[in-house]
Every structure is written in structure tokens, then in C-alpha cells.
Amino acid sequence: MENAFGLIYTGDASMELRELTFSRSVAAVPFGGRYRSIDFMLSNLVNTGIYNVGIIAQRNYHSLMDHLESGKEWDLHRKRDGLFILPPFVTHDNTGVYKGTVDAIRSCMGYIRRSSQRYVVLMGSHTIYNTTFNDMIKKHEESGADITVLYNVEENYDLSEQYDDLRLKFDANGRVTDLAINPRDSESKFCSCDAFVMEKTLLEYLVEDAYAHARYDFTNDVLVRNVKTLNVRGYEYKGYVARLNSINAYYRHNMALLDKAVTKDLFSHDHPIYTKVKDEFPASYVGDGRAVNSIVADGCVIEGTVENSILFRGVKIGRGAVVKNSIIMQAAEIGENASLNCVILDKGVAVGNNRTLSGYGTYPVVLRKGTKI
């Protein structure tokens, strides 16, 4: 058991994911055939031995709460500690609408104060990876850092995909000398993974201090602003990182799962990723149904052809239908002889018989939840 608790912020504006976040927060965006983004954050914490987790909910959190329930799927339904969902609320000094992350964290100060652990792992909800924080916390203690930032080497530098892109620069001793958010040039390839370790008391102080000075954004007004006065250090994560910061990135990172090395990184045997169990039956290949280079979840019934695609739970592919290079979310139904290429179908989309839909690898067509064609 680590002497730390987790605090996950799920209020990202997330407009970059367009249709996928019309009815849900980024934390609840489906990923990888049976998961949602937040499953990775929660599993990382639980696999670390952190069993006290607060989730700051802000926008569209109904879908998130529905997914999390009591937290039992992550072993977080506990008498001591466990899962705490922290939605906005209205009091005399809290309007219920957060002005920014600082405001959001401040509104759950009660939870933070009550948490008995010394350290906090503060996380966002759109960066997906599989790790444990044990070594990072140990290094944090040893180095005497005020804040340790988890980062990876990110070569990708597409300005159109920049969202909360926090780049780090180090001095010779490994201390972070500069933090820049969404910089316009690629001076640094060290990119924050949106996970920070610090002492709980420091978080309390920084948040209260920023709030008192009418500063509301944690990244800008706390981290970037104080990088010269605080001892900020980095901890490198070497595995695969999926940043869900645009539709293209979302598409690319899902498709990357067809690469065995990526799957191995994201779904390690020692550190399983837990999610809500749906008790679907095993996928059934029927008649001429077949799949090639694809990921298929339980509950799917495949009578057509599926190629280079990701099928979530309970998807039905009709006879003669051909699905290529696509992401098909839970319970979508594809009619007979339909033809799909480079599409992202959200949950419960129904495509009629003989319909054809095609996007491009660089611009996949996205159909929002429940669309009927």
C-alpha cells in the first residue's frame, strides 16, 4: 500500500473529440474495444496499491458515474477509503461552476484534507498508459522534489492536435527549468503525461494561494508560473502513451492497438486494466463471418467481413457487410451488405442494409451516439 491517494480531474473541455464528447466527459470516452479512458487511470492507481481515489466530476458526468458505480470493478468499494466521486455543488462560496482546475480542486478540499495519505497523485483524464507509480513516488522522496511530473518522449508535434500539451525542459541535474503549455515550436520532446506527485499539504497550499490571487488554471497558474521557485523534477515513462487530444489522435491510438507491441504495453499481464464487466457471451463468428487484423470484444456477432478494425462489445455485423479501418463502439449494428471504411461509430449506431460510408485515414467520419442510417 502506497502512502498516497489519487485525484483525477475529469472536467477537460474536450471539444477536440467532437461528437465523442457530446454526451460524455473525456474520462468516459470508450477506448480499445471494451474500456473507457478512466479505466487506465484507475487501474494504474490500484495496481500501484493506491486505494483512495477522488474523481473530480464536472461536465456530463452521468455516463461516468454509470460506468464507475461503486468502484467495485476496480476493487475500490472499501470501508476505509475507496472511490469518491466529487461532483460540483453549490454553497455560499462555491457557485457550482468551476472557473478552472484550481477552483475544481479547491471545491473538494474537504476530501483532500480528510485523506490520511501523505502524497497525492494528481491526474488528468485524456492521457492513456499502463504503469504503476511506486518507483516514481520513491524517486520523488529520494530527490527531495516538490513536484514530480510523469513524462515521456513524444516526437509527434502536430500543432492541430495540441491540447494541454505540457512540454518540459531540464537542467543538467534533472531539475525542470521550463514548462510550456502548447508551445508553438518543438523545443522539447519531453511531454507531460498529466500525472503529478506531490505532498498533499503542498497541493493545498498551492491551490489556496492561486485562488487567493484569482488564478484558476492549475497548469498555467500553478505549475508553469512556479517552475522557477519550486523544485520540479521529471520521471520518464518509457511505454506507449495515447493522448486523446483530437479525433485523429483518437483514431490513430485505437488503430495502434493492432500492433502487438502496443497491446503488450497497454495490457500487461502483471498490471491488468480493469473495467465494468458486462457479462456478454464470447464473440461468435457465424457463417462466412470473418475478421482479419482486428480487435473484437465479447458479445459481437460477425456474419460479414471485418478488417483492420476495433469492435467494442455487442457489435453485430450483418451478412455480406464489409467493415474496414473502422472503430465500432458498443452495440452498434451494421446491416447486410453495408460497406464502411474509416468510420468511428459511437455507441448504438445502426447502419441499414446496403449503406456505404467512407472517410479517410486522415479524416475519419464520426457518427454520434444512437445515429440511425
Question: Is residue 111 near other proteins by the rule CB under 8 A?
Answer: no
Choice between 83 and 291, CB closer to other proteins: 291
Collapsing DSSP to helix, strand or coil, 134 comes out as helix
Question: Is residue 353 near other proteins by the rule CB under 8 A?
Answer: no
Please give the grid coordinates belonging to residue 199. Answer: 505532498
Residue span 226-265 as binding mask against other proteins, x where in contact by CB under 8 A, dash where not:
--------------------------------x-x--x--
Segment near other proteins (CB under 8 A); pick from 158-166, 172-180, 220-228, 294-302: 294-302
User: CA-CA distances (angstroms) from residue 94 to 88, 90, 213, 324, 336?
Assistant: 9, 5, 16, 49, 54
Among 28, 122, 291, 332, binds other proteins (CB under 8 A): 291
Among 174, 287, 361, 370, binds other proteins (CB under 8 A): 287
The nearest distance, CB 76 to other proteins, in angstroms, is 13
The nearest distance, CB 267 to other proteins, in angstroms, is 4
Residue span 9-48 as binding mask against other proteins, x where in contact by CB under 8 A, dash where not:
-----------------------xxx--------------
Choice between 171 and 279, CB closer to other proteins: 279
Among 145, 295, 323, 357, binds other proteins (CB under 8 A): 295
Question: Is residue 292 near other proteins by the rule CB under 8 A?
Answer: yes
- Supply the DSSP string of 253-266, one letter for each residue: HHHHTTSHHHHHHH
Which residues are registered as beta bridge partners of 334?
317, 351
- What does DSSP say about strands 232-236 and 356-358: parallel, antiparallel, or unpaired? unpaired
Q: Within positions 300 to 319, which residues make up the interface with other proteins, using CB under 8 A?
A: 301, 303, 310-313
- Give the burial class of 109: count Cβ atoms within 10 A of its Cβ; 0-12 exposed, 13-18 middle, 19 or more buried: middle
List of residues 6+ apart from 210 with CB closer than 8 A: 102, 216, 218, 221, 222
Among 48, 52, 101, 275, binds other proteins (CB under 8 A): 275
Do the Cβ atoms of 161 and 249 come closer than 8 Å? Answer: yes
Handedness of CA 44, 45, 51, 53 (dihedral sign): negative
Segment near other proteins (CB under 8 A); pick from 7-15, 95-103, 104-112, 275-283: 275-283
308: alpha, beta or left, given left = phi > 0 and alpha = psi -120 to 50?
A: left
Residue 338 CA neighbour count, 13 Å, CB half: 23
Choice between 194 and 265, CB closer to other proteins: 265
Q: Within positions 133 to 192, which residues make up the interface with other proteins, using CB under 8 A?
A: none
| R_g (Cα) of the chain, nearest Å | 21
The nearest distance, CB 9 to other proteins, in angstroms, is 25
Distance linking the first and last C-alpha atoms of the chain = 50
**Letter for the amino acid at 274?**
Y
Q: In the complex, which residues of this chain contact other proteins (CB under 8 A)?
A: 32-34, 72-73, 258, 260, 263, 266-267, 272-275, 277, 279, 281-299, 301, 303, 310-313
